[in-house]
Each structure stands twice: as C-alpha cells, then as structure tokens.
Amino acid sequence: MSTMESLLNTVPGGKGAARADSAGNVIEYSGPIDAETVCAVAAMSMNTLDEVGALLGLGSAKGWSIVSDKRAMYVHRRADELIVVEAQATKTPETVLKKIGQAV
C-alpha cells in the first residue's frame, strides 16, 4: 500500500490524496481526484496563508483545511512538499486535520 493510500484510509470520507512539490507539481497521488488541479489550488493558497500568519504573528502556515457544503480539502505542509487530501465535508474538520498531521 502506498503512502498516499494509507493516508487516505485515515481520513473519513477520503476521496483522494496527493503529494506535490511546493509549486503544486504532483509527485504521487491516489484516488479518483484531479490531483494536478487540487495541488495547484493548494499551492496557490500557500502564500496568502503565510501572509495571514505573519499578520497575526503566528508564523508560516503548516497546514490548512477548507470545507464547503460538499467537499473538504486538507493540506499538510512539509519542508518542500504539500500533502493534499480531498474528502467529503465534515462538521469536525479540526479532528481530521489533526489526524492527517499525525499520520504524515
């Protein structure tokens, strides 16, 4: 089982998981997701979140999640990589983000 597959199993309602470089270029992925687009969106959001962290005095972004009515995106940031998980929407994204952080 690949790293992405095992990560996907830790997320309730997980649809797909991908690993990308900091520019959003996909390195590997698992599941029926548009990994290129999902990773590009994650990479595009990174700078804005870093700016928000700086404004709040909290430093750089280590990870984030965005949940809409139907979908949820979780991003975990490593040195030069982004781990992105797409899943069904949940009412407790905090718990899922924590799980992903522990799993990677």
Partner 1 sequence: MHDSMQKITSVPGVIGAAVFDESGACLAHELKPPYEAILLTEILLQLRDVYDNYLALAESAEINSLIGAFEGGHLLIRRHQTQTLIVLASETVNLAMLGVSINIAQLKLNRIGEQQSQPAMAHGSQPPRPPPRAFERAAAQPPQPPPLPPPRASVSTSQSLRLPARGSFDSQVGISWSADDGSQQKPPPDAVGLAVMRHVLKALARRIGAVDARAILDEELRTIGATPATIRASDFTDIIHSVANRMPSADDRDAFIADALGDAGF
Name the site residues for partner 1 (rule: CB under 8 A): 37-38, 41, 44-45, 48-49, 51-53, 55-71, 73, 89, 91-95, 97-98, 101
Is residue 91 exposed (0-12), middle (13-18) or buried (19+ Cβ within 10 Å)?
Answer: exposed
Residue nearer to partner 1 on the CB measure, 6 or 47 = 47
Residue nearer to partner 1 on the CB measure, 4 or 46 = 46
Minimum distance of partner 1 from residue 20's CB (angstroms): 14
| Adjacency order of strands within the sheet including 71-77 | 26-30, 14-21, 81-88, 71-77
